[in-house]
Structure 1
């Protein structure tokens, strides 16, 4: 269990970000342990076809048996939406000795796999090979999915930002994750990898909150030189793997038309045009046209998050999309 003691300055400096490199690294674990990541099996089956067979051994070696990761693989995002190439550059610039230290620390007493066993002889070359393999894996297996992944991460950040603006830190952390709790200026994160109790005085360094589509639980990275990072499962991440259209109330479809009714049903969580088009199996232009009508009717709102425009239902849209209990009159 880790306690992060946050002062007023830390709360004022708190910020959200997503990390394409972190998502890339976390996704490898979903490939290594498909049974543990069952909801992502459609993605697993799709991506497995595009893996470079020569890269598999080294990629899988980045996932030690203890499920710890070498720290240098997930550098702290330096901007709210960093580019993968910039983050990979940070990995390439890692001194070999530091990268080798992180690998040994992640494996602990476990034996290194053959692909890593000689890495200590030339750790700089090993770090370079790892970066090259990660780059190839990103381009083949993750980048095609990135627009949909980013839409889910953007939507989560919009939702959390609203919670923070309306209810402060208490509202923000109330449903961040079951392992996370907030009380009296202390953010507590319970992790199986940290069975011992420890406390960190953040002391004005701030806090980075990083949603993830592949994280199975809340995780922390604490570095005395920078703000602590809390990664957590993004809201709505399960929708990434859905392709079927949701059931729609027939009455609502007759009222506003089936395409708009389906869109309204999908917008329980904020989503981008790209994500909605993928889930409905239509073009982004077709979705954009229908969203414009819903927006003009006051059924959805839109807000820009980075390079994406996210749509969400208004209160009126919620009342139309959610079935009314018989005998109950909506206020």
Structure 2
């Protein structure tokens, strides 16, 4: 049992964060024991071949049979907008003593593959994680982040409507909050009590835990809990196509047009509709050239949105006159 003691000032400092690096590390649970994560089986299956040539020797050393991962893979995120590149940059600078300590806390020793010079070992860990990201996460992260961000919005709404206590008690069946102490029932047999003491408590939704999780050591107060809405994440979206529009555009382009009532990237659309990225981009260009979509750049992504002409076509109406 882990108990976080929240004083009055600590209650005001409860915040949410999203960590791409933590998702990357925790995903090793689903890869190691896919049967224990039925909601993620489609992701495990879809990415299996892409993971064939990864550095499995290092990745296997980052998790044990209890499905624990070292705390350096679960950094406290700065915000819900934390970037993987920033987290990996900090990991590269991890002090050698922290690297060893966190591994020993999980395995009881430093695994042989990481027992050499710490700088070289950290570089190899970062390289293995970057390869795992490229193989299994890059194409799916927009959808995953959307689920995680939607969970944060939902929890904020709960606080506004029902109060902090109701929100905390609704995070997981293994979390209890009595107004003073947040108790987290962990698989760790150790009994720990940690005061927040003004350092803040971070709540982090994740795709890769079935119950509440927390740092293995006495790091910054943080609770990882199962994000809502995972069930339909990996299923290809089935959008009802208006028959007349599908007859003109084809079923895939009609589905894309129907799906773009809200802005979305080509990567996200490919995951939602079960279409390859190259095919999605080809269809999107055709729809945009026809004036049925508009596009804009947002950060590193190009977002697409149905135009007024596209909306009118779906509705069977006429295009609006200027």
TM-score tier, shorter chain, comes to 0.7 to 0.9
Partner-residue secondary structure (3-state), 1:200? strand
Q: Does 1:206 align with 2:192?
A: no
Specify the alignment match of 1:218 in structure 2. 212
Specify the alignment match of 1:279 in structure 2. 272
The 1:11–1:246 alpha-carbon spacing in structure 2 relative to 1, beyond 3 Å, is farther
Alignment of 1:157-236 (within 5 A): 157-193=152-188, 195-221=189-215, 226=220, 228-236=221-229
CA offset digits 1:163-215 (Å, max 9, x no partner): 0111111221232100011113211110112x243322212221101000112
Q: Does 1:136 align with 2:138?
A: no
Specify the alignment match of 2:29 in structure 1. 29
Q: Is the 8 A contact 1:96 1:126 kept in 2?
A: no
CA offset digits 1:3-59 (Å, max 9, x no partner): 111122111111111111111111122111112122222111111111252512211
Per the TM alignment, residue 91 of structure 1 is displaced from its structure 2 partner at its CA by 1.1
Q: Is the 8 A contact 1:31 1:44 kept in 2?
A: yes
Alignment of 1:122-133 (within 5 A): 122-133=117-128
Per the TM alignment, residue 94 of structure 1 is displaced from its structure 2 partner at its CA by 0.8
The 1:130–1:200 alpha-carbon spacing in structure 2 relative to 1, beyond 3 Å, is same
Specify the alignment match of 2:89 in structure 1. 89
Larger deviation: 138-147 or 70-79? 70-79
Q: Does 1:44 align with 2:37?
A: no
Per the TM alignment, residue 152 of structure 1 is displaced from its structure 2 partner at its CA by 0.2
Per the TM alignment, residue 121 of structure 1 is displaced from its structure 2 partner at its CA by 3.5
Q: Is the 8 A contact 2:165 2:179 kept in 1?
A: no
CA distance in 1, matches of 2:40, 2:177: 30
Q: Is the 8 A contact 1:212 1:231 kept in 2?
A: yes
Partner-residue secondary structure (3-state), 1:240? coil
Per the TM alignment, residue 223 of structure 1 is displaced from its structure 2 partner at its CA by 6.8
Per the normalisation by structure 1, the TM-score is: 0.71
RMSD: 3.5
Specify the alignment match of 2:78 in structure 1. 78
Q: Is the 8 A contact 1:97 1:124 kept in 2?
A: no
Per the TM alignment, residue 140 of structure 1 is displaced from its structure 2 partner at its CA by 2.1
CA distance in 2, matches of 1:145, 1:180: 29
Per the TM alignment, residue 222 of structure 1 is displaced from its structure 2 partner at its CA by 7.6
The 1:197–1:106 alpha-carbon spacing in structure 2 relative to 1, beyond 3 Å, is closer
The 1:33–1:118 alpha-carbon spacing in structure 2 relative to 1, beyond 3 Å, is closer
The 1:225–1:173 alpha-carbon spacing in structure 2 relative to 1, beyond 3 Å, is closer
Larger deviation: 272-281 or 38-47? 272-281
CA distance in 1, matches of 2:263, 2:165: 28
Partner-residue secondary structure (3-state), 1:26? helix
The 1:11–1:82 alpha-carbon spacing in structure 2 relative to 1, beyond 3 Å, is same
Specify the alignment match of 2:295 in structure 1. none
Q: Is the 8 A contact 1:151 1:272 kept in 2?
A: no
The 1:225–1:48 alpha-carbon spacing in structure 2 relative to 1, beyond 3 Å, is closer
The 1:106–1:136 alpha-carbon spacing in structure 2 relative to 1, beyond 3 Å, is same
Partner-residue secondary structure (3-state), 2:187? coil
Per the normalisation by structure 2, the TM-score is: 0.73
Specify the alignment match of 2:147 in structure 1. 152
Larger deviation: 178-187 or 93-102? 93-102
Specify the alignment match of 1:326 in structure 2. none
CA offset digits 1:245-277 (Å, max 9, x no partner): 399xxxxxxxxxxx8xx98xxxxxxx9856688
Per the TM alignment, residue 89 of structure 1 is displaced from its structure 2 partner at its CA by 1.0
